[in-house]
Structure 1
Amino acid sequence: MGSLLVNRNEGKALGNILVLGGTQFFGKKLVYKLLGNGLNVTIATRGLNKDPFGDKVERLIIDRENKSSLEEAFANGNWDIVYDQSCQSPQEALDTVGALKGKAKRYIFTSTQAVYEYGTQWREEDFMPEHFSFDYKSRKQYVGYEGYQEAKRASETVLFTQSDFEVVAVRFPLVIGKDDFTGRLKFHVDKVLNNDQIGIANPTCRYSFILSDEAAEFLYKIGHSSFSGTINPGCAEDISLKDLVGKIENRVGKSANIINDAPVANTSPYALPGSWSINTEKANRLGYQFSDLHTILNELIDYYFAIDQDK
């Protein structure tokens, strides 16, 4: 993957990094990448689960729903870049902005393509957080997909309108990889291999994806760039669920059993009421290139197929 055309300090990495979360999936990859580039990394989590970083990181214990815990944890810190992997409500965003006032230069927020309505090839300007109105609620009050969408939209709004640091909102599409703990792509491969029903009501809906390695790489490099604002990273192509399942059929040599209505356990985890895809031309213009979607899907399908054959 390429780098941004304009980098800070002639490519020299900014040294003190705070990662809120960063112990799962591509957040973990981000932390390893930061450490591999010789940066001083502090991770801030609830401290409930052991992380794999040993003595290579500093640790802070925080509760995103408790403002005072943030103020206490960040009281003596100063960071060049903050990566936020764990914000789930505008109240958490507001409390974090207050606790980090004067203590951070850049803030890289892991957002989502869910800030857009259903549809295909959404561009960054199709959702402008500065104009979004909302009520402050706790993360528990944001229920389901609509709640997740509102929470991320409102969090972006807080960060762009109420902070004193540079902000980047990275609107990720669906993240896939061999380390995907959600198992959503593997779900489809397993169902085809076992001739189980797959519930897909809208097989023509189209989706965008990004490889987990490239998600971490993008976060790392966008943090050390001069860019601020909103941005869509990911593969240039999108794909329908029908074509995704067809690709699986072709590679494993079996036919899928797709039905319109299925029990929850058999319903595709990608089956949303509409398409969910983004336009990544802005990231491309800034110098980023992402892997071909069909190449990475083929490789992952083959990987899951091989796992099944080894059982």
Structure 2
Amino acid sequence: MQRICVIGGSRYFGKLLVQRLRAAGHQVTVINRGSGRPPAGVEHLVVDRDDEAALLAALGPRTFDVVVDQVCYTPVQAAIAARVFAGRTRRYVMTSTIEVYDPATAALVPVPADTPVGEEAVDPATWPVDLGLPWHEAAYLESHYAEGKRQAEAVLTRAAGTGAGGTRAGGFTFASVRSAHVLGGGAREFTGRLAHYARRVSAGEPVAVHARPLPTVFIHFAELAELLHWAATEADFGGPLNACSDGPLDVHALTAAVAAQTGREPRYQPATAAAPASPFSFERHYAMSNARAKSLGFAFSHTADWLPGAVAEALAEAAVPTA
């Protein structure tokens, strides 16, 4: 049994992670602002993680083997966490995102379109940090989501002394899980991206796509919860880790998977300023390599294994009859 703190964990794969940790016999504490109660047997601390004094008071003398941070979006939040959990945990796992590799939001080394990007493309040990930016403003944070995640990783990496290769120099070991686009779960998939395709294809409405969309990678929400469980309780790596199922897809393949269950041929229209591209239509390289996670012992599914079920859930949620 390990003592594990989950910051967030009130919805989607975070909620499933908490359930799995508890079912595995771990002593689990959930920290959130009261947005959702954890399952029975899980300690619940209701506090705003952005309020450092309140967070310290709520934690009291508690210490943990592992902290899993589901809701760290800015370097300011990361800096607070680094101070509060220094000396309280031996390991800190942050849920990050594929968005850190978005070349539209940062000057990154170009990657050939047929080469999945590796973790080394964004090294948090060397990424610049600016705590003075208006991270507290919702509009700024929304438009700088990827940069917020990059800088949050950078702050925790330096606080822990964990470089790109995962070497622990002091403090806790820090690991960031860079998740692919998450699908599955029907109504639990709160972004509504797969539901977008379910509605449009079933209604015979066109899907707006780029002229030559490039593939991206996905992961099922239950598989991501399992990987986070593994990263928290079994693995001992440090540094960034890409998390994606095998089998990249472009927007045409994703739309075809929906169309196959509706019996309707998909329709497309060019993406324009008036008709912005649908989710997952990318004209830039957007696929990750999961080789590092595999080398550490995690076995990924193939997207084709779970996508039909995820599509069926989205169609059922939208009350769309299937073929």
- Provide TM-score, normalisation by structure 2: 0.84
Task: Kindly report structure 1 stretches of 4+ aligned residues shifted beyond 4 Å.
Answer: 262-267
1:35 to 2:22 alignment: yes
Change (3 A) 1:142 1:113: farther
Return the structure number with greater helix share: 1
SS at match of 1:159: helix
Q: Please give the residue correspondences for 1:139-178 in structure 2 after superposition, counting only pairs within 5 Å.
A: 139-140=136-137, 143=140, 147-163=144-160, 164-178=171-185
SS at match of 2:130: coil
**AA at the equivalent of 2:239:** G
Q: Please give the residue correspondences for 1:80-95 in structure 2 after superposition, counting only pairs within 5 Å.
A: 80-95=65-80
Tell me, in whole angstroms, the C-alpha distance in 1 between the residues paired with 2:191 and 2:29: 26
Structure with the bigger RCO (C-alpha within 8 Å, sep 6+) is: 1
Contact 1:74 1:99 in 2 (8 A): no
68-77 or 219-228: bigger deviation: 68-77
Equivalent position to 1:255, from 251, 262, 265: 265
Partner of 1:10: none
**AA at the equivalent of 2:213:** T
Partner of 1:79: 64
RMSD: 2.2
Change (3 A) 1:39 1:264: farther
Tell me, in whole angstroms, the C-alpha distance in 1 between the residues paired with 2:274 and 2:299: 37
Change (3 A) 1:221 1:263: same
Q: How many equivalent residue pairs?
A: 295
String of CA shifts for 1:101-141, please: whole Å, max 9, x gaps.
11111101001111113465110111111111121132426
**AA at the equivalent of 1:207:** T
Tell me, in whole angstroms, the C-alpha distance in 1 between the residues paired with 2:226 and 2:61: 29
- 1:223, CA displacement in angstroms? 1.1
SS at match of 2:116: strand
Contact 1:169 1:231 in 2 (8 A): yes
Partner of 2:289: 279
Partner of 1:69: 54
**Any stretches of 5+ residues in structure 1 without a counterpart?**
1-12
Partner of 2:126: 131
**Any stretches of 5+ residues in structure 2 without a counterpart?**
104-112, 161-170
Change (3 A) 1:81 1:123: same
Tell me, in whole angstroms, the C-alpha distance in 2 between the residues paired with 1:115 and 1:101: 25
Tell me, in whole angstroms, the C-alpha distance in 1 between the residues paired with 2:36 and 2:141: 28
SS at match of 1:91: helix
Q: Please give the residue correspondences for 1:1-311 in structure 2 after superposition, counting only pairs within 5 Å.
A: 13=1, 15-47=2-34, 49-53=35-39, 55-118=40-103, 121-136=116-131, 137=133, 138-140=135-137, 143=140, 147-163=144-160, 164-178=171-185, 179-202=188-211, 204-224=213-233, 225-261=235-271, 267-306=277-316, 307-309=319-321
Change (3 A) 1:202 1:77: farther
SS at match of 1:26: helix
Tell me, in whole angstroms, the C-alpha distance in 1 between the residues paired with 2:136 and 2:269: 34
